[in-house]
Structure 1
Amino acid sequence: MEAFSHLLNRLYFTHGNNAKGELIKDYFAHTPDPDRGWALAALAGELSFDLFKRSLARDLIKERVDPVLFEMSYDYVGESAETIAHLWPESENRQRLNRLPSLHEVIEQFNERTKEGVREYLTLLLDNCDANQRWALLKLGTRGLRVGVSARFIKKVLAEFGGVDVNDVESVWHGVTPPYTELFAWLEGKAPMPDMSERVTFHPVMLAHPLEEKDHETLDVAAYQVEWKYDGIRVQLVSTPQGKALFSRTGDDIGAAFPDLLEAVDFMAVLDGELLVEKDGRTGSFNDLQQRLNRKTPTKKMLKESPAFMIAYDLLRIGDEDMRERPLEERSARLRDWHTQQQPARIKRAQILPADDVEMLQALRDEAERGHEHHIEGLMLKRKDSPYVAGRPKGVWYKWKRDPLVIDTVMLYAQRGHGKRSSFYSDFTFGLWQSEQLLPVGKAYSGFTDEELKQLDKFVRNNTINRFGPVREVEKTLVCELAFDSVHESNRHKSGVALRFPRIHRIRWDKPANEADTLDNLKALIV
């Protein structure tokens, strides 16, 4: 545990991916199994505990210090783990440990103990750790490391550590599990590459770059296959002799939430596509899909009212034939023939659109702008000669999304961010007018520059009129133009609506609050 806490602290204060990568590789080289494997799981976001929650740590600290002191300290620090780590009091009556347990011992205890046992063990560790170790322990338990390390970055570091191709790491990643002894044995040349042939595995997805205005001049449209970009979620449907699974774009198995789709699969293939649901005989909204995404097991009512289906736009494997190295044009033709012959239930095939130049592309995108009822959010452009490779190769696939919807809102509340933003008020709640009052319609914490963040933070500090724990209520004077992808009716919000992916588009320092939009203006955008 000491070595892991030291690593986390150094990562937190180290800038630059190269330097962070060197720290992680050094840790892997000098830390034995299974500790390094559990550290890898934590860094990659693959570690979670059923009973060790952020709320437990908060309860424990409030039993030991004045709750008001904790809330005021948290408001000042802006980060829960750091606040608790420094506020945790020294106790003469504590049970003393001869040494801190290793990382794998800590994880084993948290996984095996009862709810009360986890509470006792966490208390014991917090009593015996210093502030830095307490911080690392709390970050470990709540999955929010926030040390500037992404899952994709970790895979690149692993590839460098083992001197292998990052695509090879990607290809085995979802077939190995913590503490990854099989993976490290391969990377250190002590064992062959893990065999995935007998496992139902996820193939890392190929991603697209946004199509920029500057790309139009050099784009050879005829070299690209054009498809609609649907407003669902990217999935990979895997059906092999070893079993069936439905994976999200990050490799999470979400099949339990969509048994109706998996049960209809009676073929051997791996398909890349978009997951959607039907609603009242038509394609449902993203909000309709989200109701099922948020459930581990769907109800009979959900299965009946929102049946799942998939729009397949790529064929990665058919039978025992791997298609990924074939050009897209060939994969698309095979997908078309396969779909015509197989006629699989609940699986539609993506439409290939005619487009030979930028003008035709623009016309299709204009159609997407008008096509909210079809739940199309733009266009996909894919080079016809492209093999299917993991990651986001430049110039191969593009996405050209429709322009976002925008509305003028008034800032109501603000809260500090996390990680590097923990010193700034960066999470904002915005509202719209209904009669003479402002009703909250959404939260946004992106879309602004670092300089604009400083300006927003200053506004919050200078215009606070009330405090609710870490939340500050501000004077209702600042108008911000919010951009968002869509709006849906919602019974969970007082306003009756929910925004998809709201972000700050412009800060309207010049606009008076009484000229912000109304809730009726927003509801008029619901389709």
Structure 2
Amino acid sequence: MKHFAALYDAIDATTATSEKVAALVAYFREAPAHDAAWAVSFLVGRRPKRLVRTPDLRAWAALAADVPAWLFEECYAQAGDLAETISLLVPESDASDDHALAWWVMDRLLPLAGMAPDAQRIALLHAWQQLYGTSRFLFNKLLTGSFRVGVSDGLVVRALAQVSGITAESITHRLMGQWEPSAAWYTQLIATETTDADWSRPYPFYLAYPLEAELASLGAPNEWQLEWKWDGIRAQLVRRRGRTFLWSRGEELLADRFPEVEVSAEWLPDGTVLDGELLAWRDGAPLPFSELQRRIGRKTVGKKLLADVPCHLLVYDCLEYHGADVREQPMHERRVMAEAIVTRLPGGAAIGLSPVLDIVSWQDAHEARARSRTMTAEGLMLKRRASPYGVGRKVGDWWKWKVNPLTVDAVLVYAQAGHGRRAGLYTDYTFAIWDGDALVSFAKAYSGLTDAQIREVDAFIRRNTVEKFGPVRTVKPELVFELAFEGIQRSTRHKSGIAVRFPRMVRWRRDKPASEADTLDTVKALL
């Protein structure tokens, strides 16, 4: 654990990419394979599921620190991070621990999930007595599921490529899909023989950058393939050895969650991998994302939900054709392969082709983008016809050109303190709009303000608090903000009857009094 803590400290101490990679390389060259496996897992964002109930954890930490619960909560509000609060409050012992990271994870951390509460408490008190400094802080971060460190997946891949001597693309591919950290797995991860790809595994996804330049800067329109940017779940459909595997972009295997797509995939030839978008779909058109949300997260799907929210995979690209990896072939050739595969599926299949737009001029592209919302799309995708299918996000060949967000002017009515870097500041806001003469809660937003603006709003909240409800403060309804969001739909769970997607603050409307904020009727008109 000490060596992993030292790596964390080294990464945390610098903002230089080269120094972070050097620290990772040094760690992986020295770490035992089992420790390195768990380190990779945590560094790329895989975390244990909740092991201990948060209320129990807070109560036991207060007990170990010998402080009353109210004082622990006040400290937590100031620190803004539960793992850090525990590390600071619970006294350290003089014990010295030399156990490895894998031992702490396998023998002390993961077994907590199967213990009774009393056994959990005893185990945690013992662990806190054994660990100190950064090691104990990291144990707490893993315990609370909040472990993060300032390295991207790409930096981890770069370091592993340097250690192993194989390409970053091979490392990235091996990290895709399902795997369990172990010494054997890590040994295979950095093995120089690269023909061992798991046959169920997807390819790394290729991602687009937001388009900010003028369209004319991209060259001739006929060099580009334009498609709708659908609002669904990006997925790869893998058909190999007579079996089907549906993977999300988040590397989650979506087995049995979209059975209509998996049944249709049985008609695909072996050695096929298609890249596309999962959408809620009815009568040949996509349904709003709110409908798809009813299917997301369901391990099993009942007959009624299947009937109410049928789903469809719209195919963008072909990555594997008759068992051959075709990602290096030009986009327009891969499109022909996708068409050859999908058009042979029987009628009624839950797999189709995402249409390519007929664009002659860039003016045509502007006009198509303006129609995006009528298509239940987020905008357009622009893909260079000659481009290969890359790995990750690269500038130049694929662009996403989203429509401008919807906006509403709303009044700040509630506030709550933030966590982490924003601990001690009121940064979590609830906004309301007018329904007649009353303000009705409409949306919550946390992002969009500068640090200076956050401090200014925080000072206003402290001066103008009307009531307190636990951590929440009711604020005098005076500040108006312009909120932007991507989608809007009716909702029976919200008091306003409206729910929005990805709300954020884009402007502090200092020029507007609260009386001029938008009304519920105005917002409903956006539907």
Please, what TM-score do these two structures have when normalized by structure 2?
0.90
Query: Quick one: which amino acid aligns to residue 277 of structure 1?
Result: A
Deviation at 1:462, TM superposition (A): 4.3
Query: Quick one: which amino acid aligns to residue 319 of structure 2?
Result: L
Which ranges in structure 2 are unaligned for 5 or more consecutive residues?
A: none
The equivalent of 2:369 in structure 1 is 365
Deviation at 1:346, TM superposition (A): 0.2
Provide Cα deviations, 1:234-277, integer angstroms capped at 9, x if missing partner: 11111111632111112111233222321332123211111011
The equivalent of 1:342 in structure 2 is 345
Separation of aligned partners in 1, 2:128 and 2:49: 17
Deviation at 1:50, TM superposition (A): 4.9
- Are 1:103 and 2:101 counterparts? yes
Deviation at 1:135, TM superposition (A): 2.0
- Are 1:23 and 2:23 counterparts? yes
The equivalent of 1:6 in structure 2 is 6
Q: Is the 8 A contact 1:9 1:136 kept in 2?
A: no
Q: Is the 8 A contact 1:172 1:194 kept in 2?
A: no
Provide Cα deviations, 1:378-410, integer angstroms capped at 9, x if missing partner: 111111111111122221011111111000111
Q: Secondary structure at the match of 2:371?
A: helix
Distance 1:250 1:118, change over 3 A: same
CA RMSD of aligned residues (A): 2.6
Provide Cα deviations, 1:440-497, integer angstroms capped at 9, x if missing partner: 2222222334444444444444444444444444332111101001111223323322
Deviation at 1:89, TM superposition (A): 4.5
Deviation at 1:320, TM superposition (A): 1.0
Deviation at 1:31, TM superposition (A): 1.9
Separation of aligned partners in 1, 2:323 and 2:280: 30
Fraction of identical pairs, as percent: 36
The equivalent of 1:51 in structure 2 is 51
The equivalent of 2:273 in structure 1 is 270
Separation of aligned partners in 2, 1:460 and 1:220: 53
Provide Cα deviations, 1:29-68, integer angstroms capped at 9, x if missing partner: 2221211211221111123135345444223224453121
2:144 corresponds, among 142, 154, 164, to 142
Provide Cα deviations, 1:68-98, integer angstroms capped at 9, x if missing partner: 112211222222211122122569xxxx966
Runs of 4+ residues over 6 Å off in structure 1? none
Separation of aligned partners in 2, 1:385 and 1:83: 53
Separation of aligned partners in 1, 2:514 and 2:477: 7
User: Structure 2 matches for 1:257-406, cutoff 5 A?
Assistant: 257-266=257-266, 267=268, 268=270, 269-278=272-281, 282-343=285-346, 345-369=349-373, 371=374, 374-406=375-407
Q: Secondary structure at the match of 1:483?
A: strand
Separation of aligned partners in 2, 1:316 and 1:216: 29
Separation of aligned partners in 2, 1:21 and 1:242: 41
Q: Is the 8 A contact 1:409 1:479 kept in 2?
A: yes
Q: Secondary structure at the match of 2:146?
A: coil
User: Structure 2 matches for 1:104-503, cutoff 5 A?
Assistant: 104-109=102-107, 110-113=109-112, 114-116=114-116, 117-174=119-176, 177-179=179-181, 181-182=183-184, 184-185=186-187, 192-193=193-194, 195-196=196-197, 198-241=198-241, 243-266=243-266, 267=268, 268=270, 269-278=272-281, 282-343=285-346, 345-369=349-373, 371=374, 374-422=375-423, 424-503=425-504
Q: Secondary structure at the match of 2:76?
A: helix
Q: Is the 8 A contact 2:59 2:69 kept in 1?
A: no
Separation of aligned partners in 2, 1:75 and 1:465: 20
Separation of aligned partners in 1, 2:121 and 2:210: 47
Q: Secondary structure at the match of 1:158?
A: helix
Separation of aligned partners in 1, 2:53 and 2:12: 22
Separation of aligned partners in 2, 1:435 and 1:393: 49
Distance 1:327 1:282, change over 3 A: closer
* Worse-superposed segment, 50-59 or 433-442: 50-59
Query: Quick one: which amino acid aligns to residue 349 of structure 1?
Result: L
Distance 1:377 1:434, change over 3 A: same
Q: Is the 8 A contact 1:283 1:375 kept in 2?
A: yes
Q: Is the 8 A contact 1:380 1:397 kept in 2?
A: yes
Separation of aligned partners in 2, 1:223 and 1:441: 44
Q: Is the 8 A contact 1:42 1:143 kept in 2?
A: no
* Worse-superposed segment, 356-365 or 152-161: 152-161
Q: Secondary structure at the match of 1:332?
A: helix
Separation of aligned partners in 2, 1:281 and 1:199: 33
Separation of aligned partners in 2, 1:259 and 1:55: 38
Q: Secondary structure at the match of 1:172?
A: helix
Q: Is the 8 A contact 2:79 2:419 kept in 1?
A: no
Separation of aligned partners in 1, 2:476 and 2:9: 38
Separation of aligned partners in 2, 1:22 and 1:415: 40
Separation of aligned partners in 2, 1:167 and 1:76: 43
Which ranges in structure 1 are unaligned for 5 or more consecutive residues?
A: none
Separation of aligned partners in 2, 1:449 and 1:244: 47
Deviation at 1:183, TM superposition (A): 5.8
Distance 1:123 1:303, change over 3 A: farther
Deviation at 1:509, TM superposition (A): 1.9
Distance 1:381 1:76, change over 3 A: same
Q: Secondary structure at the match of 1:310?
A: strand
Distance 1:338 1:324, change over 3 A: same
Separation of aligned partners in 1, 2:308 and 2:412: 37
Separation of aligned partners in 1, 2:202 and 2:127: 37
The equivalent of 2:88 in structure 1 is 86
Q: Secondary structure at the match of 1:137?
A: helix
Query: Quick one: which amino acid aligns to residue 275 of structure 1?
Result: L
Query: Quick one: which amino acid aligns to residue 83 of structure 2?
Result: A
Please, what TM-score do these two structures have when normalized by structure 1?
0.90
Q: Is the 8 A contact 1:236 1:246 kept in 2?
A: yes
Separation of aligned partners in 2, 1:63 and 1:438: 43
Q: Secondary structure at the match of 2:33?
A: coil
